[in-house]
Amino acid sequence: MKASRHAVAGLLLGLCCCVVAPCMAAKAATSQVEIRNFAFAPNTMTVPVGTRVTWTNRDDEPHVITSAGKQFATSPALDTSDTYAVTFSKPGTYAYYCSIHPMMVGTIIVQ
């Protein structure tokens, strides 16, 4: 009985490794930027290549994520609690701003 229990436990562990590990390996890194009080937080962020960055608008005003160098597509106007995500697959420095409030600027450094 004891041996078979171990066998079952081993089987379950084996299953977990097979099922979970590839899933985790395939999952890209993610990072969050909050838009709060007319500012991006964090204002400058360094992430590894392949990271999916998600902006979330915590203000009551709409904001638009616009790439300063047209390196990624402009977001739609984000209402409160709306999100916009960009996956950065090439190294570089990605400056962006809010096209409604151009004094709102931020930078994603991908390396």
In the list 98, 106, 108, 110, the residue contacting Cu ion (rule: CB under 5 A) is 98
The least distance separating Cu ion from the CB of residue 102, rounded to whole angstroms, comes to 8
The least distance separating Cu ion from the CB of residue 97, rounded to whole angstroms, comes to 9
The least distance separating Cu ion from the CB of residue 109, rounded to whole angstroms, comes to 22
Is the distance from CB of 108 to CB of 96 less than 8 angstroms? yes
E-assigned strand segments in 12-91: 30-36, 39-41, 44-47, 51-57, 65-67, 83-88
- Distance of alpha carbon 55 from alpha carbon 63, whole angstroms: 10
Q: Is 101 in the site for Cu ion (CB under 5 A)?
A: yes
Task: Give the helix ranges, DSSP H, for 50-109.
Answer: none
- Distance of alpha carbon 92 from alpha carbon 111, whole angstroms: 7
Stretch touching Cu ion by CB under 5 A, among 14-22, 55-63, 67-75, 81-89: 55-63
In the list 63, 75, 97, 108, the residue contacting Cu ion (rule: CB under 5 A) is 63
Give the interface with Cu ion as residue ranges (CB under 5 A).
63, 98, 100-101
